[in-house]
Amino acid sequence: MGIIETQIFKVDYQNPNPKDIAIAAQIIKDGGLVAFPTETVYGLGADATNPNASKEIYRAKGRPGDNPLIVHIDSMDMLWKVADQRDYRAERLADRFWGGPLTIILKKSELIPKETTGGLDTVAVRMPGRIVAQRLISAAGVPIAAPSANISGRPSPTMAKHVIEDFTGRIQGIIDDGPSPIGLESTIVDLSESETRILRPGYITLQDVEDTLDERVYIGYGNVSTERPKAPGMKYKHYAPKGELVLVKGDISNVVRTINELLDIAKGKREAVISCDENISKYNTKNKYSLGSMFSEDIMRNLYRTLRLLDEDRVDIAYCETFYNLKHSEAIMERLKRASSKIIEV
Ligand code: TXA
Ligand code: MG
């Protein structure tokens, strides 16, 4: 593969320049790749109806071919073009959560080739809320397949800078409209069977989905090491920094004491602590990162950015607090477990 010239479009997140959107949309229509912002993370976009364009996504990311892509749409009309399963659950969830951080899985239509769905006969669909994403899909006039815009295995990008790091010279365009407000990937809900299942936790919680559907919702992702997941992507180690990440779980005073002891032992390595505003001052090291306040959405928003900072700062081993009992604990802890090599319970 030769080096590709990557155009960077810096746009206003509320009012992007239509000329920039038109150029980016043309790249997509021509079968090329454009990374673009969504409210969750940045996506690496291509025409979802074009098998060769989807193949290009796998090549650029280094992604295994059995790991299907999410198809991004701009309207309910487009939903019924990509999905061949009229389902009241889809209508209700779309009504309540779209555009927003929710992906649903339905039987796919003929319009979507198997190259886009990793060989499956179902399709994952999401209508993003981010204005720039909506404008891009509308201007392209086709559904846009987009996985998170990171090289396979790395933390997902929450800033254009992360995409630029991973993809300059490998894709035709990158749209930059600032940081992603949510910072973790969308919740995935499988509607392709009669039981409703969450395949990946996210900003929209199981409770949110149950309340909306007024029925029992099941969990379809499992223990990281023993699972046989339904979302093929969930079987891979993910989001991991290059160094080691160790989670320390328990009563906060025990966690602080244990981490401070471990910091002493690990001399010679470049070590760090990941904590939150409420606890950060308790650690005896200069190398510490706060994810923000435990009582806000900062923990979720800053997680991937912080994991990438560990790489930039060449941290060999990072000790991280755990975050249970928050509204978004399920999503946060699922990512932290996948990014880490072990959990110490104290
Ligand atoms: O927030 C998001 O969802 C972001 C933004 C860019 O929209 N996208 C994203 O895509 O996270 P990706 O490719 O990194 O994760 C997609 C996940 C994978 O775990 C994949 O296996 C699963 O969705 N998936 C996609 N299609 C599926 C299908 N038909 N059945 C089961 N799982 C599917
Ligand atoms: Mg991803």
Contact 83, 109 (CB under 8 A): yes
Kindly report the pTM of this predicted structure: 0.95
What's the pLDDT score for residue 240? 75
Amino acid type, 40: T
Q: Of 149, 139, 135, 126, nearest to 41 (Cα)?
A: 149
Ligand nearest to the CA of 104: 1
| DSSP count for the chain of H helices, then E strands | 10, 16
Which residues of the chain have a pLDDT value below 70? 1, 223-238, 266
* Residue with CA at minimum distance from ligand 1 atom 3: 186
Owner of token pair 């891009």: 136
Residue 112 CA, ligand 2 centroid: distance in Å: 20
CA dihedral 142, 38, 132, 91 (to 10 degrees): 60
Q: Is 309 in the pocket of ligand 1 (CB under 6 A)?
A: no
What's the pLDDT score for residue 168? 97
What's the pLDDT score for residue 267? 76
The Cα–Cα gap between 317 and 244 comes to: 5
| Local structure of 115: helix, strand or coil | coil
- Residue-wise pLDDT for 189-233, tens only, equals 999 999 999 999 999 999 999 999 999 999 998 754 444 556 665
The Cα–Cα gap between 47 and 280 comes to: 45
Residue 321 CA, ligand 1 centroid: distance in Å: 27
Neighbours of 115 (CB within 10 A): 21
Q: Is 201 in the pocket of ligand 1 (CB under 6 A)?
A: no
What's the pLDDT score for residue 268? 82
* Residue with CA at minimum distance from ligand 1 atom 13: 147
